[in-house]
Amino acid sequence: MRRRNALGSLITRLVADGGGDVTDVIRPLPITPGTEHSYWLYALSVRDDASVSSQWFARALTAEGVPAGAGYIVEPIFRCMDALAEKRTFGDSGHPFTGAFGHAPVDYGPELCPRTREGLNRMVTIGINEGWSESDARDAAQAVCKVARAAGSRS
């Protein structure tokens, strides 16, 4: 994990150093203060006001020799867990979904958290691994910056 963390942190720093013409289009996902990222995937977010989609960005990045995927998961995690999506609870109380014990009913329907869905759709992921060299990480960051600048020139 330490190696991936160092590589991911390097990519983040280099992308941020790319300047406004890069960060106006794409940004590395934020890291909660006091935590470390595992970087089992390196994730970027195409800004919602960018002139390109995550699909366009991922295809262009792949064409630059950095295999990338668009989006992250089809459904947000709260829709994937049976306990939430199917309202399966312990026993037969139905709590918290039924509003038992005076609480309002809870529904984890598909319309919940539209910004989460938007965020997932704006993601671009790059599969980094411990076998990457520092040069590989620098090449990936350079490709991200090149594609972001090309995307920015499309506006």
Domains of the chain: 2-76+113-152 (3.90.1150.10)
Average pLDDT over residues 21-46: 89
Q: Using DSSP, state whether 31 is helix, strand or coil.
A: coil
Interval 60-115: pLDDT, tens:
999 999 999 998 766 666 666 666 666 666 667 666 667 666 667 666 666 777 77
Q: Are 146 and 64 contacting, i.e. CB atoms less than 8 angstroms apart?
A: yes
Interval 107-154: pLDDT, tens:
666 677 777 777 778 899 999 999 999 999 999 999 999 999 999 877
Q: Using DSSP, state whether 70 is helix, strand or coil.
A: strand
State the pLDDT at residue 117. Answer: 74
Interval 34-59: pLDDT, tens:
988 888 899 999 998 888 999 999 99
Cα-based torsion angle of the residue sequence 41, 34, 77, 99 in order, rounded to the nearest 10 degrees:
180
CA distances in angstroms from 15 to 39, 113, 123, 124, listed in the order given = 15, 29, 15, 14
